[in-house]
Structure 1
Amino acid sequence: MFKTTLNKGIFVPSILFIFLVSFISVAYPQVADAVLNTVKNFIFVNLNWVYVWAVTLFVFFLVYLMFSKYGKIRLGDNDSRPEHSFFSWIAMLFSAGMGIGLMYFGVAEPMQHYASEVFGLTQYVNKAKNAQLYTFFHWGVHAWAVYGLVGLSLSYFAYRFKLPLSLRSCFYPLLKNKTEGRWGNVIDVFALCSTFFGITTTLGFGVVQINSGLKILAIVPDTTFVYQVLIVTVLVGLAILSALTGVDKGIKFLSNLNVILVVCLLLFVLTLGPTVYLIGSFTEGLGNYINNFFNLTFNTHVYDAETLPWFYDWTILYWAWWISWSPYVGLFIAKISKGRTIREFVVAVLVIPTLFNFIWMTVFGNSAIWFDTHVSGGALSALAGNPDALMFRFFEYLPFTQIASFTTILIVIIFFVTSADSGIYVMNNIATKNALHSPKWQTVLWGALLAILSLLLLNAGGLKALQSMTLITALPFSVIMILFMVSLLKGLSIDQSYYDRKFSKSTTPWSGKLWKQRLKQIVATKNRASVQVFIKTVVQEAFLDLQLEFAKSGVIAHLHFDEASSTLELEIKHDLINNFVYGVVPASKKVAAYLIDESNLPEVIEEGTYFPKAYFGDTRESYDIQYFTKNELISDVLKHYDRFLDIVSEERNEMFISTNSYEKEE
């Protein structure tokens, strides 16, 4: 029998939309690219402030969580611990988040900024500093804050609230059970399509870079489509094999291997390149980034019209790109982050990858700029528009060129495979609503779809149209991510309140002596009538006994009963200081709807549960006294009266205790 775990409400609309967009991009690539590019440009020009503000909020929100009381909350049960070692965890989130991009833009972006005259700078020092500064900006904290917010939201609601590892779960505090219905499916369809389009375009561009490197090394004769088909077939086949083995085996092994290779390549360039220059430029560049952090964050270039096209093509495009990729990367980060604390998660996701990116971009980008100025005579900057080949041409100015180039291709291939296999894994999770055991053919299906559609789009020239489509989806998703913050704050507030909730004050005097009576009170129906009976019996008897004893000591205590509100109040009046007041009033609180039909809980009525609430003659917080016996209530009143006398005896409290005297004088 044909077995599947695919959810029809998610898979069918997703696959139809993916096929529709892909068909249009393949059949009419120029038209699709023109239309989608027009929409993208309109958004970038007129709504770029949405991206700027959204990404800025993400950064500050995560920093706030890192230093707040919520930082100690664990992504899972309080006693849960991480499933992966710290190294493997960092390696996997890094491979999924930035992999191919670092290899593609490590030399290309700094060199393109350096070669650009958009800022009107001609001096080498200023151009080199700005190239490094803006590269840091685009690949730093802001990028990882986007991924971190989605990953944290998913991890928190999946492992703390025991909800499915799905974007719909991030709305649970706002939508509650509606997340299981149509709205939840819409959110997951959006996430699945966004993930598919993002991975497809990235893999398409990755294949071009691999093909270009293989040609430079004379492994393949040219960069024709035939060789690209072979590359995709082999690499996606490896990705499927890796995805079938699961996160704990294939994906973890490849991620760990790649990080080791990346560090080796980094040390190779640092050691054999302009070492002293690189260490100094990294130090100065880091300081320059920190000093300009707020200016870069809020800069919209509105006062400098000449730089606006650059701003749209770089900063806004990057923000849109990170946001559009965040459903996929966030889901994968969440999958591997169970057991971490929020503080540990934020520090690791924001700081460690950011610092590594800075080191990588400095070593490769600044080396290329140094070689371009001091060795090649501008040959590398002339290739700035050809990023597919730039990394490999850069290695020609270092010893062991062939070894470095082979290593680069191997790293790109592994990044290609890890991006594809983690993408396959995530897409199947979304489409199946996190089914535990899916048949293997579904993994093969997602891999085949990625391979076929990326090749069709690459051959027809439709990748740019699909890229524009992906960037357009970033606008609505940025709004969705802002709602993630609201939902996460609400969830964290409830979480903190739950674990910090102290025992009710009404249980303070308890001992085991009256336990049967206490149990009957706990499970009894708590409606308004039962509270009124409590006030007219226990409270009234306690207040009458107190009134009598106060009178024996020469203190006059008045009792006031309001029939309409069933409020009973004991008051001791004074001439120069505030009156002492201890009152009891019926109060109510709403209860969760799911408790009404719960058979193994005390009876709950639809309008909520009632309790007698004690209040006082000042602004102190009132509390529940429903379990007090008469003598315990008398004791509580006397505690407050003792506190009252202690306070009024201190001269410094005059402002708080003498307001009644002014009212009497008036």
Structure 2
Amino acid sequence: MRLTGIAPLPFFGSAVVSLALIAFAILNPDAASALFQVANDWVLREMGWFYMLAVGGFVIFLLCLAISPLGNVRLGPDESVPDYSYGTWIAMLFSAGMGIGIVFYGVAEPIMHFSNPPDAAPGSPQAARDALSITFFHWGVHAWAIYAVMGLALAYFGFRRGEPLVIRSAFRPLLGDRVNGPLGDMIDIFAVVGTLAGLSTSLGLGVAQLNATGAYLFGLPQTINIQLGLIAVVTLLATLTVATGLDNGIRRLSEFILILSFVLMGLILILGPTQFLLQAFVENIGLYIDSFVTRTFHIYAYEPTDWVGSWTLFYWAWWMSWSPFVGLFIARISRGRTIRQFLLGVLFAPAGFSCIWFTIFGDLAIWQDLNVAGGAISRTVAENMPIALFAVFEYLPASAWLAWLAGLLVAIYFVTASDAGALVIAMITSKGDEEPVLWLRVFWALTCGGVAGGLLLAGGLDAVEMAAVIAAAPLSIVMVFMCFGIWKGLTDEVALTASAALPAAPLIGEGSASWRRRLGAIVSHPGKRQVTEFIDRTVTQALDAVQAELARRGHGGEIAREDDAVILRIDLGEGISDFLYRVQPVSRPIPSFALTDAARGEGGRNRYYRAEVFLAQGSRGYDIFGYDREEIIADVVAHYDRYLHYLSLRP
């Protein structure tokens, strides 16, 4: 088998680290567990303050960006439209983000904060209020702000500025062309390893919950061997799903599990203390808003406690280690939305769903513990956390049916997290290819399962959670610099918009043959081969002519090829950014109104290619397929004129 379609160093570097981790955990689990413990303690002790400050900064940065005029910038060319409806988009966001976690912690976390609170008397009304306020804090806006930083950077630089959809692309404003070298490869390797660690945490929680479901329904023993077998089965299912691609597999599963989640919540709301849960939801929202700023920066500096490391810092590390996966995934499905739409959707829609979920399950558990269970639920959670959900079902009618629904939900969340993670890692290790080759997707789906299994052998859930905390250390620093990259890129948009106000150069060759040829190109929906040939011939000839004329006038310019793209680069001197005019094939869906039999063409295809123009600031959003040589030259000259004006406006 030829290893085609990969970025060699990120792929082999990540694969070696991942396989070595699996081997180390399997061959010497005691040593692996001890090493993870030492590293975990160091990270929490030395970097805990930085985790808290960074996450608070992410929230402030994104909220300011969402309400600023820069929120109108589209993640793609100006005329682009979203690939998915709002409902499908939110379902895919949530299923990839933290679906397994809310099922596992839906009862367990509120009950643990209620029975062992950091700042109140155990079992008191204040402990109940704090329990939900803290849980909302851990699973709300702050968690999704971490994902949004990564997702926004990737979507902006990938779809707006034409960079590959990989982590290194967000660093081009800071590192320039060095992102194409070993430094960029190392950034992508960090991203892959962090993704594997964060994903393994979710898979570890998921398999523990699946095992608990089997124990409740079938009397299945809760052992490591059973959990390894479950990981193997679900990994095979995920491998089959990831092979079907984003639209056919992950999209349909995401929509199904969102519906199933609402069905389960609705049943619990009806069967449980409905009035109390509705009242609690209203109060929980107020408590969350009231404590939002205080908890953001509350690291217990004056009253040191292990609680903040076991809970808040663990969550921030988990979200950061998982952010390359979730961030790249939500970027992949968010093309065409404005920054404001992206941020408001990512920050508030899944967070709002989580708040509803934790109110229904968490407040129900607290109410039962106080009224009908006599503290039994708190004792069950302390002894066997994965079984917490089923302890609540015991006090409701139709408990077996509820357990079946919960088990199905966990299984599907498990599959969607695993296959979405494999797809994202495959994208990172394939130069940002949005549809990585099949063997690469399958390899990473199997590797994700292998890492989760190896970490369970090395110390169970504790080892899995420690791996996420450790992996977040380098990624937290990377994400801070990402924010600077986003800001620098967006401020360039202001000057670019001003320069675009210059009048456009008239098109050349407006005779009958010219307009007929252009009209034919607009309605033809060409394939990749046609567009590539057009770039190789007509576009290259036009850029050669411009470069030759510049040379004759004593200006530096060069033509370069990069994959299927052709690039004209004009050197403007030391310390001044070069002018770039790049033309490359870009795949787009054929619009529904154009999907006639003739448009579908070869084999019923529903995508076509455009010869899109990219400048240094990204895609200009228009197609020059069908332009003749003189028209392309006129387009280059017009953009060069605008770029010189743009430079004069920069601060």
TM-score interval for Structure 1 and Structure 2 normalised by the shorter chain: 0.7 to 0.9
1:401 aligns with 2:386: no
SS in structure 1 at match of 2:311:
helix
Deviations 1:347-367 (A, max 9, x none): 111111111111110110000
Q: Distance in 1 between matches of 2:216 and 2:291?
A: 39
The corresponding residue for 1:417 is: 415
Q: Distance in 2 between matches of 1:426 and 1:595?
A: 29
- Range moving further from structure 2, 591-600 or 480-489: 591-600
- Equivalent residue runs for 1:101-500 within 5 Å: 101-122=101-122, 124-218=124-218, 221-305=220-304, 308-385=305-382, 386-435=384-433, 438-461=436-459, 464-500=462-498
The corresponding residue for 1:626 is: none
1:501 aligns with 2:509: no
Deviations 1:315-371 (A, max 9, x none): 111111111110111011111000111000111111111111111101100000000
The alpha-carbon distance between structure 1 residues 526 and 377, as it changes in their structure 2 partners (threshold 3 A), is: farther
Aligned-pair distance for 1:473?
A: 2.2
- Range moving further from structure 2, 50-59 or 434-443: 434-443
The alpha-carbon distance between structure 1 residues 273 and 2, as it changes in their structure 2 partners (threshold 3 A), is: same
* Partner amino acid, structure 2, of 1:59: V
Larger Rg belongs to: 1
SS in structure 1 at match of 2:165:
coil
Q: Distance in 2 between matches of 1:20 and 1:463?
A: 20
Kindly indicate whether the alpha-carbon contact (under 8 Å) linking 1:216 and 1:392 is maintained by their aligned counterparts in 2. Answer: yes
Q: Distance in 1 between matches of 2:284 and 2:435?
A: 48
The corresponding residue for 2:82 is: 82
Kindly indicate whether the alpha-carbon contact (under 8 Å) linking 1:171 and 1:487 is maintained by their aligned counterparts in 2. Answer: yes
Aligned-pair distance for 1:117?
A: 4.9
Q: Distance in 2 between matches of 1:437 and 1:354?
A: 29
The corresponding residue for 1:40 is: 40
Q: Distance in 2 between matches of 1:56 and 1:158?
A: 26
Q: Between Structure 1 and Structure 2, how many residues are aligned?
A: 541
Kindly indicate whether the alpha-carbon contact (under 8 Å) linking 1:591 and 1:609 is maintained by their aligned counterparts in 2. Answer: no
SS in structure 2 at match of 1:107:
helix
The corresponding residue for 1:564 is: none
Deviations 1:176-235 (A, max 9, x none): 2211111111111111111122222321331121011111112x5323445334422332
Kindly indicate whether the alpha-carbon contact (under 8 Å) linking 2:104 and 2:389 is maintained by their aligned counterparts in 1. Answer: yes
Q: Distance in 1 between matches of 2:78 and 2:639?
A: 30
Q: Percent identity?
A: 37
Kindly indicate whether the alpha-carbon contact (under 8 Å) linking 1:525 and 1:604 is maintained by their aligned counterparts in 2. Answer: no
Q: Distance in 2 between matches of 1:603 and 1:144?
A: 42
Kindly indicate whether the alpha-carbon contact (under 8 Å) linking 2:74 and 2:339 is maintained by their aligned counterparts in 1. Answer: yes
The alpha-carbon distance between structure 1 residues 460 and 292, as it changes in their structure 2 partners (threshold 3 A), is: closer
Q: Distance in 1 between matches of 2:321 and 2:435?
A: 28
Kindly indicate whether the alpha-carbon contact (under 8 Å) linking 1:22 and 1:466 is maintained by their aligned counterparts in 2. Answer: no
Aligned-pair distance for 1:472?
A: 1.6
The corresponding residue for 2:539 is: none
Aligned-pair distance for 1:67?
A: 0.4
Deviations 1:406-447 (A, max 9, x none): 000000000000001101111111111123654423222222
- Range moving further from structure 2, 387-396 or 456-465: 456-465
Kindly indicate whether the alpha-carbon contact (under 8 Å) linking 2:115 and 2:123 is maintained by their aligned counterparts in 1. Answer: no
Aligned-pair distance for 1:47?
A: 2.4
Q: Distance in 1 between matches of 2:459 and 2:345?
A: 38
Q: Provide TM-score, normalisation by structure 2.
A: 0.77
Q: Distance in 1 between matches of 2:644 and 2:280?
A: 66
Deviations 1:113-162 (A, max 9, x none): 00105435146211100111111111111001000110011001000001
SS in structure 2 at match of 1:468:
helix
Q: Distance in 1 between matches of 2:71 and 2:295?
A: 27
The corresponding residue for 1:20 is: 20
The corresponding residue for 1:517 is: none
* Partner amino acid, structure 2, of 1:212: A
* Partner amino acid, structure 2, of 1:413: A
Aligned-residue Cα RMSD (Å) equals: 3.3
Q: Distance in 2 between matches of 1:242 and 1:164?
A: 24
Q: Distance in 2 between matches of 1:476 and 1:140?
A: 23
Gaps of 5+ in 1: 512-522, 529-587, 614-620, 624-666
Kindly indicate whether the alpha-carbon contact (under 8 Å) linking 1:153 and 1:484 is maintained by their aligned counterparts in 2. Answer: yes
Aligned-pair distance for 1:8?
A: 1.6
